[in-house]
Amino acid sequence: MTVNPVELPRAERSAPGAQQTDAASKDINLNMLLDIPVDVHVELGSTRATLKELLHLGPGAIIELDRLAGQPADIVVNGRLIGQGDVVVVNDTFGVRITKLVGIEERLESV
């Protein structure tokens, strides 16, 4: 499969022909990205099981995870770790309180 590059027109905030600074054009380009949806997952832990073990699960069964109680959960965006946090309950709904973010350099290197 051949993929050809595509050039998109530059977004303009001001009247045509008006001069923009580099900072202003960067803001416009960033604003175009802010409404793009991303998948956010909070991972409490994981385990491996055989199909036979899974078929024997029923109500009340417990699946043991590879994390200790009290350890932070991983915050993953589009398959990439971006931070960690503590699981909390807010108005009978689970949430996560962010306690650590991966450094911007590490996030950019993983792209």
**pLDDT, tens digit (0-9, with 9 covering 90-100), for 5-28:** 766 666 555 555 555 555 566 666
Q: Which residue range forms the structural domain that includes residue 47? A: 39-56+69-111
Q: Flag whether 102 is in a domain.
A: yes
Contacts of 41 (CB under 8 A, 6+ apart): 75, 76, 77
Q: Flag whether 61 is in a domain.
A: no
Q: What is the CATH number of the domain that holds 44?
A: 2.30.330.10
Contacts of 89 (CB under 8 A, 6+ apart): 95
* pTM greater than the 0.85 cutoff: no
**pLDDT, tens digit (0-9, with 9 covering 90-100), for 46-66:** 999 999 999 999 999 999 999
Looking at the 3D structure of the chain, how many domains does it have?
1
